[in-house]
A and B are shown apart, each in its own frame.
Chain A
């Protein structure tokens, strides 16, 4: 890494490309934690209206507090409500308000930024207070500041994002990225997060070029500096020269030409040269991606990640109606081709961060930790903790709400359910029992349900691989979730970049596990779909086909490339390659075998797809 250049000097940083494509624009630095607040430099004529905006926000928050206080007085009595009076008085404190307005005026910054600076200063003074109880009261100031910021940003902290911004930070919470208007983001530069981290998956889904592994990015890049992000090669240019930008524009054009060619071919079937038909389906994690499903030639949805619904409604849990509406839209949009809906797959730490955990606790005082959200201790090892199906079964109401919504929506299309992180046969039976009860209830309530809603199992733990035959006997289909499967087989946290290099889809142990699961499905006569990242990588996809997979589900944008490859291949040849790969003793052999085979088969691949680095993936146009 190059050291920080003098202001305006060009320099480049190398990281890991986690979402391909190219984008450039002004850097917007993200803070380490807490509210995301941007500094926006105001033009002189904007200052007065900014002060007006600030005063208006103060008025609104005062009014909110007045209403809240009345409500609290009725419920708890005057004494308890007094705390809100303290908050309201802060918004009448000439000292605080004056300081914020002065800052907006003299530094010509947006109100959010001024609120943040003044709050930070006050909190710093608070931190010096020796009396522990009084020191803790700093949280009252924070509380008021959060209310102000929420009003100022209209509850959308990113509305102030400049056009074509490149977000720079140590991490980017997926919840935040989910809130953003992707049209306004030209790229992402982050410190931590591997190819399969959630932020990477989201960035690729949104078509935002991203580079990770740039540690201390925020200290090396100043706010508003022009940044060029090359997510295909993992390069970040700060203050790029006009020549460099021109060069990238040329490459972008070539990419678009190729893309339009693929587009023309999108309606063609994915059939190998020896006549084997492959089904390519879409992984979807937000409703706005529904258009992409058709546009990129997907045959329905192979994996609907439902976490977005839980993110959107946090800290509340999404109601049955909200979920039903989303699933119904999906059912209608995918018609006969259908969609596979995965029950919510997240862990306690993620839920705690969103406040959803305390909502649950409040609702279920008998639950673990009993009512008090404060007593929650972060899980040391969330990947092995209370997550995915374990969480759903632990909070049956969450599961029941989700199953009810899916069952009701199933009347509008061809929906199936898939259960994440199954390790025990009983888990499947328990969910089935819930589903049976729910279907009976719903019919009694007068809902029209399909005769049967298929339930599948994600094979994504070593236990599920070894138990695949037994699991197949209680499931309607199997789904290979390669991301988690690789993580658990190799015991590598894919988001920890100190060990991320050990995360290797071509590791022989991984290949043998995949093979064994595919064989189990074949023997049981069950459909098997592959829905991890491997399906979207040209080399890995060929290997999966050779191992016997016939249905691949991937982010919609990856489909054209994979389809193009399939149409150039002969399956018999891929089988031979996979057979050889299974006897390899390390992944380098497998990679070499695949690269050599691609050459022998004279497959046409766009030249800028990095095939040799395991973590890299398919080229995509933005």
Chain B
């Protein structure tokens, strides 16, 4: 199992669009991927958009990401990258869902 902690830094947190991107990335891998909020321990399957949305991880939240499976290393790398890149919302602006 691979495990890494990453901070949600985009201004609006894991809103619907960001969650959609995260789930799409997770779906590319075989591994089972779980997200857990470091502050309250709430967990979600990274391949379930509802689960990710209901985490309600706002900006500043730390997420504990766990992946296990054949491609766990690549999976955790990709998930962290999409979160750290602020889901492509440059400057955190323009997300007016």
Contacts and interface: CB of A to CB of B under 8 A. Distances in A.
Contacts of A93: 48-51
A69 to B, nearest CB: 11
A140 B54 CA distance: 12
Interface stretch (A123-131, A174-182, A407-415): A123-131
B23 A89 contact: yes
Nearest to A89: B49
A122 B56 contact: no
B15 interface: yes
Contact of A79 (B19, B23, B94): B94
A601 interface: no
Contacts of A126: 54
A94 interface: yes
A137 B16 contact: yes
B97 A137 contact: yes
Interface in B41-97: 45, 47-51, 53-54, 56-58, 88-89, 94, 97
A95 to B, nearest CB: 5
A141 B54 CA distance: 11
Contacts of B51: 93, 95
Interface in B16-58: 16-17, 19-21, 23-24, 45, 47-51, 53-54, 56-58
A177 to B, nearest CB: 35
A90 B49 contact: yes
Contact of A134 (B15, B21, B47): B15
Interface stretch (A80-88, A256-264, A480-488): A80-88
A83 B56 contact: no
Interface string B4-21: 000000001111110111
B14 A86 contact: no
Contact of A133 (B12, B20, B53): B12
Given A89-B24, A134-B58, A83 B16 contact: yes
B56 A140 contact: no
A122 to B, nearest CB: 7
A135 interface: yes
Contacts of A92: 49
Contact of B50 (A83, A95, A129, A133): A95
Contact of A86 (B12, B17, B57, B94): B17
A96 interface: yes
A565 B95 CA distance: 70
Contacts of A130: 56
B48 A83 contact: no
Among B45, B50, B94, the most chain A Cβ lie within 10 Å of the Cβ of: B50
A85 B20 contact: yes
Given A79-B94, A129-B56, A140 B50 contact: no
Contact of A95 (B12, B48, B88): B48
A133 B48 contact: no
Contact of A82 (B17, B47, B58): B17
Nearest to B90: A79
A134 B24 contact: no
Nearest to B97: A83
A131 B88 contact: no
B49 A134 contact: no
Interface residues of A, number: 25
B50 A86 contact: no
Interface string A157-198: 000000000000000000000000000000000000000000
A86 B20 contact: yes
A140 B48 contact: no
Contacts of A87: 16
Nearest to A128: B56
Contact of A89 (B20, B45, B94): B20
A354 B17 CA distance: 29
Contacts of B49: 86, 89-90, 92-93
Among B13, B24, B53, B97, the most chain A Cβ lie within 10 Å of the Cβ of: B53
A85 B13 CA distance: 17
A82 B21 contact: yes
A90 B50 contact: yes
A61 B49 CA distance: 17
Interface string A101-144: 00000000000000000000010011001110111010011000
Given A79-B88, A131-B56, A137 B15 contact: yes
Contacts of B94: 79
Nearest to A94: B48
A86 B16 contact: yes
A50 to B, nearest CB: 22
A93 B54 CA distance: 13
Contacts of A95: 45, 48, 50-51
B19 A86 contact: yes
Given A95-B48, A96-B50, A122-B50, A133 B24 contact: no
A90 B94 CA distance: 23
Contacts of B15: 133-134, 137
Contacts of B14: 134
A356 to B, nearest CB: 25
A375 to B, nearest CB: 16
Contacts of B88: 79
Nearest to B59: A131
A125 B20 CA distance: 19
Among A125, A133, A134, the most chain B Cβ lie within 10 Å of the Cβ of: A134
B16 A140 contact: yes
Q: Which 7 A-B pairs have the closest CB atoms?
A: A86-B20, A86-B16, A89-B49, A131-B58, A82-B17, A129-B56, A85-B20
Interface of B: 12-17, 19-21, 23-24, 45, 47-51, 53-54, 56-58, 88-89, 94, 97
Given A83-B97, A96-B50, A140-B16, 14 more contacts: A79-B17, A83-B20, A87-B16, A89-B24, A90-B49, A93-B48, A95-B50, A96-B48, A125-B54, A131-B13, A134-B15, A134-B58, A140-B53, A141-B50
12 contacts: A79-B89, A83-B20, A86-B16, A89-B19, A90-B50, A94-B47, A96-B48, A134-B56, A134-B57, A137-B53, A137-B97, A141-B53
